[in-house]
Amino acid sequence: MTILVTGGAGYIGAHVVLALLDAGEDVVVLDDLSTGDRASLPGSARLVVGDVGDRDLVGRVLDEAGIAEIVHLAAKVIVPVSVVDPLGYYEANTGKTRALLEVAVAAGVSRLVFSSTAAVYGVPDTHLVSEDHVPAPINPYGRSKLMSEWMIADAARAHGLSFVILRYFNVAGADPHGRAGQSTPDATHLVKVACQTALGQRPHLAIYGNDFGTPDGTGIRDYVHVSDLADAHRAALGHLREGGESLVLNAGYGHGVSVREVIDSVRRVSGVDIPVMSAPRRAGDPDALIADASRLRQRFAWSPRHDDLDQIIAQALSWERRLMGS
């Protein structure tokens, strides 16, 4: 059975592809390489360079490869950019998801795993957020993903599609075997930026707000290792193959780490006292945002293997050093 992974040459996508290949699956990747890197894909993954919104291309790929399952990760993901380019984000994340669904339904695709985000929750009134929390996104990125979730659910009811939607919290780290990592040079992820600062690629690290209602004054987030997240996608497909019901699940660890704790870990692991500077809080940043991930653990018997901040940092640092030497 061949699986189509859209956005499979991107950061999370490459790790999902590795997890599927490691499990013996046959994978076709569709990626326009606008942010993805073909070098992150092993040779056994077939790459089709193209746009997920290209109906003719997607139709040919589904037909020629006999695709019955799709893992849909292709998207634009930078929140501040979505604010200044909302239409671009609605096109990339919502419009192209609609196009993919249209072709997938016509081709008889029966299972879909969709990459969503904790940004659909906006600024929740509780630090620990379950899937029952009413979505209230505050930016075009979150809204574009929530609209895609609605379309998927509606298409499933109308056409018999089964799905799992994974709402990611803060993804971090790199493949423990050094095969993939976060390669986008201007990425805004805290762990990557902190590692680049430790390696002298950035002059300093900005802390956006030190007056949050948290023990050390900085924001707390749920950082999930990218390889554990990739395993959740593999488990989601297994669940659907066994006839499991369609689900919307949080993907995180269920505990949080502050910005200062991330910085302390980078200093500890790298041995570098990275320079930091204070910056104003960003609009809409909650004090803490932590996944209630109990349903993911229960439904899939999912047990993280890399829930250790220093390990996450060490592997991210190793990947950054690899990029510097390439």
Q: Which of 76, 65, 82, 84 is nearest to 25 (CA)?
A: 65
Instruction: Decide: helix, strand or coil at residue 277.
Output: strand
Instruction: Determine which one of 89, 121, 141, 168 is catalytic.
Output: 141
What CA dihedral angle connects 228, 242, 129 and 82, to 10 degrees?
Answer: 70
Examine the residue annotation and report whether 208 is marked as an active-site residue of this protein: no
Query: What's the CA gap between 253 and 283, in Å, rounded?
Result: 25
Paired with 71 in beta bridges are: 5, 113
> Which residues, listed in sequence order, are joined to residue 223 by a DSSP beta bridge?
170
> What does the alpha-carbon distance between residue 123 and residue 157 come to, in Å, rounded to a whole number?
30
Q: How many angstroms separate the CA atoms of 199 and 2, rounded?
A: 40
Q: Tell me which amino acid residue 98 is.
A: R
- 258, 213 in Cβ contact below 8 A? no
Question: What is the rounded CA–CA span in Å between residue 138 and residue 136?
Answer: 6
CB 167 within 8 A of CB 131: yes
Pairing verdict, β 220-221 and 257-258: antiparallel
Q: In the numeric block, which tokens belong to residue 135?
A: 């979505």
Active site residues: 141
